[in-house]
Chain A
Amino acid sequence: MSYDLTLNIWRGDANGGDFAEYVVPAEEGQVVLDAVHRAQATMANDLAVRWNCKAGKCGSCSAEINGRPRLMCMTRLSSLPQGEPVTITPLRTFPIIRDLVTDVSFNYERAKQVPAFTPTAEQPQAPFTMHQVDVQRSQEFRKCIECWLCQNVCHVIRDHEENKEHYAGPRFFIRYAELDMHPNDALDRKEFVQDVQGLGYCNITKCCTEVCPESIKITDNAIIALKERVVDAKYDPVVRFFRRRRPRSASSE
């Protein structure tokens, strides 16, 4: 059962742009990306849009749909108000390249700063003995598909370009939490994540958790846990004592 769907897609580049309207035939069961592809194939061959798997697994097709940050491939048309146009704009937190494509290199630069997994002296060489109950906390964070929706929605950097140099963002806080909770990781990154990656800027409004397409409990399970660990490490006299004796923090390397 086909019907006419109106898309309002933002088109333009760093110098500015405007909405273009496309009326495309849509079918039952389709997602927003299907409609965008239809417009691209039949009316706007040069419409710039990132996508890869169209299965919610690669995290490429992030955009703001009716103002809400989502994956276009996982947003079914039937979940949007029926009979109304669908408005699609690029992620707001990152500079526009063209149409729906933004420059997300900020995230890849932050990724380079993460001190890599470092096995403990007790188990330096795989195979490691690790139990399911101990790996599954980190496994939750490794579900991340790097769609950057959490980065996009985080108010610390959304509309605050000046904070970007001090702040890694939710995606990287779950990465630090993942490493911190890895049962066989030796490196202490707590001071680094607090002082250099800006964990303290986050005031746990949970916007990131709300938009996560993988339903990772970013705030509760990663950020709050990490903040607690940082506090413990910074102010707990016993921890401080041991840390002085065995310095192995990332920032000291």
Chain B
Amino acid sequence: MPEETYEHHPYDVVVIGAGGAGLRAAVEASDAGAKTAIICRSLLGKAHTVMAEGGIAAALGNLWPEDNWKVHFRDTMRGGKLLNNWRMAELHAKESPDRVLELEQWGALFDRTPAGKISQRDFGGHRYARLAHVGDRTGLEMIRTLQQRAVALGIDVFMELTVTDLLKDGERIAGVLAYWRESGKFVVFESPAVVLATGGIGKSWKVTSNSWECTGDGHALALRAGAALLNMEFVQFHPTGMVWPLSVRGLLVTESVRGDGGVLRNSEGKRFMFDYIPEFFKAETADSVEEADRWYDDKSNNRRPPELLPRDEVARSINSEIKAGRGSPHGGVFLDIASRRSPEFIKRRLPSMYHQFKELADVDITKEPMEIGPTCHYVMGGVEVDADTQVSRVPGLYAAGEVAGGMHGANRLGGNSLSDLLVFGRRAGEFAASYVKSLGAGRPKISEADLKRAVGEALAPLQSGKAEENPYALHQELQETMQDLVGIIRVEAEIQEAIGRIAALQARATRVSVDGGRRYNPGWHLSLDLRNMLLVSQAVAIAALERQESRGAHTRDDFPMTDPYWGTQNIVLELKAAPDGGAPTLTKRRQELPKAPPELAELLEGEH
């Protein structure tokens, strides 16, 4: 075999991922004078951010002057069942309005209020209409704006390049190994700072709103590089995914449908959410249809409809209705906006939803209700980072957006993801650039031995010779395992079984082999992704077993109550070398949750 040769690229900051967080980080790092590269696995502008629909949560106060960062902070923390990193929630609430305005400065065209300001829409868990939006394609607007900004700044973008490993020099990040999807050739980036902005992990579940890229690469890269993951048990199931036809099962139906007046009904036609208002949100939730309906126009004197409870509550309620036999024909419940808003209103506010149902399900949402059910959507858990700088435990390794943990606690509010990407993407870019400056000439160096080992691992699926295991089949088995055993409702025996099955899949994954060569070979790509998906799924299962309570998106049938003890505990996972020198194993431990200072803690108490 000929000696492997690599393309070499020196950079100050390498950003992995070109969704909202990655692009925003790159723009900031570049503005700070760092030589910056963006690596994306797909073409530029295709990242999963493009699928975000509803909007960007920011207390601009354009429609409700009563709104401000304190209310947003409170909503976020309560939505997260108080397990959020308070400092991240604070920074997020304070900085998101400026981040939204920055997009406008760069050319974004948000929908407008009658006064010509950025319009804001209602969403679950938010006290006021707070989401800056463009119809129901806000993610597209955001990614296009950031992409165009990055291009205008002349930032280097490496498209269809996949990162396989982070390389270190001692404790510090030294660079990145990646391969071109097109040619299969390897590329080495010598870069003392790396920003992980790789998004989520949803592709390990069968019913998911996530695109193929959400394979948890950043989570796995961070673990293997020595960083820690936080609270991986919190995986959000969005209440409204399509359920029929099977081809589109899991495809997202935006929360804006409910924000704009849509309601949930069971097979008996009943608005069942009134039966599921939890004690924690009783004081702020309407208990009659009349009050709920008045709220859309008069938020000062009425409480929020229960359809707009945080996502974890709504998803669980839908699940219960279906289990009780009151579901729709294809195993969901009904989401009805047709009977509540005019066809013109629906088409103007929800054009993508109208189009999606018409094209893919033959359903006219201005005339009939939609059938919907929960779909795996978002992971609140992620890389443990410093709240202000987004740096992980590994010097030079930063994480922002969905791959980072802490910000959303046990459950994320809708609209808080896009703002999270902007706020913490910017911070990661800023601090990565300043870290590199502080290094001066003393930059870490990549070792040739590490490089050889990493390349060998990446090429293994192409060299095992005979097709023992099919990566597509293994992926499907993993998805079924996570869907059936580590889904919305969890119980010890099932999680244990999942852990066993994942271990078996990991063993089989070492025998994966694929046909074809290195040039644009999706079978090979999936084999490498699979290694990440398995590690991250294992992390989710271990954390889910450890947290013996129900809180936010984590529901344990065997521990149905929220436990005050667990409200003070984060679950931290690390990959530690085995004492006998064997393969490193995932280890868990509990870690005290940082406490909010009194002036912030008091915002969380009592009623509004």
Contacts and interface: CB of A to CB of B under 8 A. Distances in A.
Report whether chain A binds chain B: yes
Contacts of B245: 27-30
Contacts of A135: 109-112
A101 B520 contact: yes
B112 A31 contact: no
A52 B211 contact: yes
A111 interface: yes
Interface string B244-267: 111110011000000000000000
Interface stretch (B1-9, B144-152, B337-345, B438-446): B144-152
Interface residues of B, number: 69
A interface: dominant SS: loop
Nearest to A78: B362
A28 B361 CA distance: 11
B163 to A, nearest CB: 17
A29 B472 contact: no
Contacts of A27: 245-247
B50 interface: yes
B520 A45 contact: no
A139 interface: yes
A52 B543 CA distance: 29
A156 to B, nearest CB: 23
A232 B135 CA distance: 33
B146 to A, nearest CB: 12
A139 to B, nearest CB: 5
A46 B473 contact: no
Interface in B104-161: 104-107, 109-112, 115-119, 134-135, 137, 139-141, 144, 148-149, 151-152, 157, 159
Nearest to A133: B112
Contacts of B104: 126-128
Contacts of A240: none
Interface in B474-521: 476, 514-517, 519-521
B159 A108 contact: yes
Contacts of A125: 105
Contacts of A47: 522
Contact of B359 (A34, A46, A50, A56): A56
A181 to B, nearest CB: 10
Contact of A52 (B42, B144, B182, B361): B42
B51 A126 contact: no
B63 interface: no
A97 B182 contact: yes
Interface in A148-192: 179, 182, 185
Contact of A99 (B116, B159, B520): B520
A104 interface: yes
B48 interface: yes
Contact of A131 (B43, B116, B159): B116
B46 A58 contact: yes
Contacts of B148: 111, 114, 116-117
A31 B247 contact: yes
Contacts of A56: 355-356, 359-360
A59 interface: yes
A41 B360 CA distance: 23
Contacts of A57: 50-51, 137, 139-140, 352
Given A74-B360, A108-B44, A182 B107 contact: yes
Nearest to A98: B520
B247 A46 contact: no
Contacts of A130: 109, 112, 116
B101 interface: yes
A56 to B, nearest CB: 7
B520 A97 contact: yes
A59 B46 contact: yes
A127 B101 contact: yes
Contact of B361 (A29, A48, A55, A103): A29
A132 B111 contact: yes
B46 A52 contact: yes
Nearest to B141: A142
B42, B46, B248 interface centre (most CB from chain A within 10 Å)? B46
Given A40-B472, A45-B470, A54 B211 contact: yes
B306 interface: no
A8 interface: no
B45 interface: yes
A1 B171 CA distance: 57
Nearest to B467: A45
B233 interface: no
Interface in B62-106: 101-102, 104-106
A183 B109 CA distance: 10
B85 to A, nearest CB: 29
Interface string B334-366: 000000000000000000100110011100000
A49 interface: yes
B413 to A, nearest CB: 22
Given A56-B356, A108-B159, A130-B112, A45 B523 contact: yes
B471 A53 contact: no
B213 interface: yes
A112 B151 CA distance: 6
Contact of A146 (B45, B48, B149): B45
23 contacts: A29-B246, A40-B523, A45-B470, A46-B516, A49-B522, A51-B212, A52-B47, A54-B251, A55-B248, A56-B360, A58-B46, A76-B360, A98-B520, A117-B106, A126-B105, A127-B118, A128-B104, A131-B116, A135-B109, A135-B111, A142-B109, A146-B45, A179-B107
Given A45-B516, A53-B46, 4 more contacts: A13-B519, A57-B352, A58-B45, A76-B360
Interface of B: 42-48, 50-51, 101-102, 104-107, 109-112, 115-119, 134-135, 137, 139-141, 144, 148-149, 151-152, 157, 159, 182, 211-213, 244-248, 251-252, 352, 355-356, 359-361, 470-473, 476, 514-517, 519-524
Ordered nearest first, which 7 A-B pairs have the shortest CB separation?
A29-B245, A46-B516, A45-B523, A117-B107, A41-B472, A116-B152, A126-B104
